[in-house]
Structure 1
């Protein structure tokens, strides 16, 4: 398979270029659906069936498996959306400089789509049957927490034994075996407006109350145990000479373990149950929308299989944990052995310096194909 992929590296890069040069920000449905149409066409040409899950607000999701597949045991997750607004692709289109390729979404995760597609092609070309044991779910809203696709992923994960997630490998090539869970909350303070020069005593400052709450929120962080609470944005007030009657804080919460969800929730509710500025009212809304991906017994066993595959083809496999979220959390929470970071190697995702390490493209595609074939064997499945 390696020789086949090496011969097609240029074709793989051209496919990445095609996808990178299509704007597909999470809220740009037309662009995401254009990427989806491109992927759909590619898989149909290989004898796969493609079911579209229609969405009104976001791009449509794709569920893909071979026409001869029966009860596949391997679920592969990928996403089409990026964090970049419409127009970014034309401002800085795909380009190659030395051994790196650049462009919006090149590593997160346009390169992964090329890698997955050509891993399937390599299996077919070399007469392997592993492609009949996979089900691919490609969603359109991963970058904003998978609000419309989480249910699709969880439904399609029924009966699955292994989940392979196509987020990029870390900069050092490590796969991801643990991720922190993530939540977003908004804390809202209502006060009473008054002129700050004429009758400030009649006002009740929402901003002052918010300041107390921000300190209390940050004190919830317990970095040693993987809990972080960060107020990343605040807003409030109407003018500099008015006691503010409204203020809000937007909060990012990260957790390491499932049990911490309720602990953090209770502490947030406790903070909002009292006020420091008399006459103000406090409320909070939001949720933990991604549970943590924990490195459990099943994931460790799957990692060992992947490391054995890596040894056979000359790739040393290391693993790591990360604070960023992904759809891997959903399958892991369902008790499915899950490994993330199976895309090519790159870095600086979500920035204008995002890049793909081109030499990793063939290597990681070969690894993915070999993993699929190994997991599809009867003795493994």
Structure 2
């Protein structure tokens, strides 16, 4: 089967993608994420899948698994794994509406990664409509907290992944029309500065500002960045009244490295920043979610080789490589499960108000995933 022969219509695909994008689903808005899961569940049922819903951990949305009909349904097969949470708050559609502008299409979460999740489902649907039975059974997993490192769903992800032979992840494709066969190691940290309160007008010198303490530490943290390990601070919250010397200030930091050993050293440096001062103030660092480094093994490279054959049939040369930025393939790949990431759409600007896909990649990547599903065997 040549995936180029599948009867796919670009305008119809774009029309079907629109409601996925217009159902906004930021990670921390449980009701919004669950509305997205409700919609995705209806799409799965319409596609013929049996849907299992997993209640979300406290403060997080639910997850879905869709199992498609297959004579070998009980055997290990292919898991297509996507997240449906985004970084864009509800209301972003007002400034970043779903719209097509030539060969770009914009919208919150369209690239990271609702477009890829949608394309993966359309690949399964296209094969079924063409009467093509995949050699292995196919399931999809939609999760709710990848944008914060998957703290609540990691166990579910690994439990589901270990039931399958192959893991396909339609996160955004690599620039240059490639896929991802490895990812850097990532660690998150929670920072807390604890000062001493006083009235900022009449007794300023009696206080110790937690915000000032945090600001000094943030500069020191980001200055630790080198070629082997990066450090950045992306969240900060402190103070409540401008006329009070702030007692607490919280922040979140991120460290990333190509090699696990470099990240481990970075973690040690971060944890060593904690200090208890003689005046009663203190600065503490606690380790948050960590994604292990994923380096491609023979099984992953064999999986890529098959994808490259499919791409050749579609008329282009598929490249691969490791990528910064985490995905749930960090977990499955590092565990030795054959995983192929970056199968999703091409574009730019994700996590910004310029997030868009290259329209042509919706057809191209749907065909790529369909061809891969049709060729993977035990």
Corresponding residue number in structure 1 for 2:265: 263
**Gaps spanning 5+ residues in structure 2: where?**
none
Contact between 1:120 and 1:131, CA under 8 Å: does it hold in 2? no
Give, in whole Å, the separation in 2 of the partners of 1:347 and 1:311.
24
**What is the TM-score normalised by the length of structure 1?**
0.86
Corresponding residue number in structure 1 for 2:15: 14
User: Aligned pair in 2 of structure 1 residues 86, 249: CA closer, same or farther (>3 Å)?
Assistant: closer
**What is the TM-score normalised by the length of structure 2?**
0.87
Give, in whole Å, the separation in 2 of the partners of 1:167 and 1:352.
19
Matches within 5 A, 1:49-198: 49-55=50-56, 57-68=59-70, 69-89=73-93, 92-130=96-134, 132-193=136-197
Matches within 5 A, 1:192-207: 192-193=196-197, 203-204=207-208, 206-207=210-211
Answer with 330-339 or 48-57: which moved more.
48-57
User: Aligned pair in 2 of structure 1 residues 204, 313: CA closer, same or farther (>3 Å)?
Assistant: closer
Deviations 1:70-123 (A, max 9, x none): 223322111112222222335543221212211222222232233112211222
User: Aligned pair in 2 of structure 1 residues 219, 374: CA closer, same or farther (>3 Å)?
Assistant: same
Corresponding residue number in structure 2 for 1:309: 310
Deviation of the 1:280 alpha carbon: 2.9
Deviation of the 1:155 alpha carbon: 0.6
Corresponding residue number in structure 2 for 1:334: 335
Give, in whole Å, the separation in 2 of the partners of 1:207 and 1:96.
44
Contact between 2:104 and 2:357, CA under 8 Å: does it hold in 1? yes
Contact between 1:21 and 1:90, CA under 8 Å: does it hold in 2? no
User: Aligned pair in 2 of structure 1 residues 246, 24: CA closer, same or farther (>3 Å)?
Assistant: closer
Contact between 1:78 and 1:165, CA under 8 Å: does it hold in 2? yes
Matches within 5 A, 1:226-245: 227-234=229-236, 236=238, 245=247
Deviation of the 1:352 alpha carbon: 1.9
Give, in whole Å, the separation in 1 of the partners of 2:99 and 2:48.
32
Contact between 1:187 and 1:283, CA under 8 Å: does it hold in 2? yes
Contact between 2:158 and 2:331, CA under 8 Å: does it hold in 1? yes
Equivalent residues, number = 373
Corresponding residue number in structure 1 for 2:354: 353
Contact between 1:166 and 1:343, CA under 8 Å: does it hold in 2? yes
Corresponding residue number in structure 2 for 1:253: 255
Answer with 131-140 or 70-79: which moved more.
131-140
The DSSP-based 3-state class of the residue aligned with 2:354 is: coil
Contact between 1:175 and 1:340, CA under 8 Å: does it hold in 2? yes
Deviation of the 1:61 alpha carbon: 0.8
The DSSP-based 3-state class of the residue aligned with 1:76 is: strand
Corresponding residue number in structure 2 for 1:283: 284
Deviations 1:4-55 (A, max 9, x none): 333x322211110121122222233333333323332333233321111122
Deviations 1:198-253 (A, max 9, x none): 7777555545544553354334323x22x111234445567788766444443222
Deviation of the 1:368 alpha carbon: 0.6
Corresponding residue number in structure 2 for 1:214: 218
Contact between 2:199 and 2:244, CA under 8 Å: does it hold in 1? yes
Give, in whole Å, the separation in 2 of the partners of 1:235 and 1:140.
24
Contact between 1:66 and 1:131, CA under 8 Å: does it hold in 2? no
Q: What is the aligned-residue RMSD (CA, Å)?
A: 2.8
